[in-house]
Amino acid sequence: MKIACLHTHESNVAGFDVAAAELGLPSGLLLHVVRPELLAEAEKCGGVTDEVSRRTAEALLALAEGADVVLLTCSTLGSAADMAAAEASVPVLRADAALAAEAVAAGGLVVALCAVATTIAPTTKLFAAAAAWTGATVDIRMVDGAWDLFRAGRREDYLTVIAAAADASYRDGASLVAFAQASMAAAASRVTAGPKPPSSPLAGLRQAVAAAQSSVRR
């Protein structure tokens, strides 16, 4: 089995490897490709353009040639996975879609935290669609200033700010807080005011493995 992951930041490679180890997946199962220019272009344009979607879909389709499942790990570019999935011969999945489904499964008030402005719209659409099936109430919140810390390489400060936002959301009455971006995953262990927030690396890999196993059975 081979799961190909398309990332838009190098740091997410380690995050998905940690998630794979936590799930007990064998070493070498994941193939990582990093394309930071795709997210950079989306941020520059204030959102995902048709051109960025096309280039992302092409990258996903290229990965599909040598993998059993392809996983897009960037929440901003998620719509490109839907485009590629229509043409690929293997499943092309969105890590954030798996996260949304897990987060809203039990209903209640689900707060999804975002750090990048360009991910607000796709995350809102994704969580709202998932919540329609479970009756959950969804609140998408921006963690102001967090992405500036991340881009400056201040990872510890970034994780501290994310965890603090999660704790604040729990104190505000959230049933569950979800980390909408893969870069937030390591902050989960720092959250103390409520349940450990689910993140896209674990959710996405669980879905990818299930999809690969299903394809093998067929």
Q: What is the fold of 97-199?
A: Rossmann fold (3.40.50)
pLDDT tens-digit series, residues 97-150: 999 999 999 999 999 999 999 999 999 999 999 999 999 999 999 999 999 999
Q: Which CATH class is domain 3-94+201-217?
A: alpha beta
Q: Is the pLDDT of residue 218 over 80?
A: no
3-state secondary structure the chain: CCEEEEECCCHHHHHHHHHHHHCCCCCCCEEEEECHHHHHHHHHHCCCCHHHHHHHHHHHHHHHCCCCEEEECCCCCHHHHHHHHCCCCCCEEEHHHHHHHHHHCCCCEEEEEECCHHHHHHHHHHHHHHHCCCCCEEEEEECCCHHHHHHCCCHHHHHHHHHHHHHHHHHCCCCEEEECCHHHHHHHHHCCCCCCCCEHHHHHHHHHHHHHHHHHHC
pLDDT tens-digit series, residues 62-109: 999 999 999 999 999 988 999 999 999 999 999 999 999 999 999 999
pTM for this one? 0.92
Domain with CATH 3.40.50.1860 in the chain: 3-94+201-217
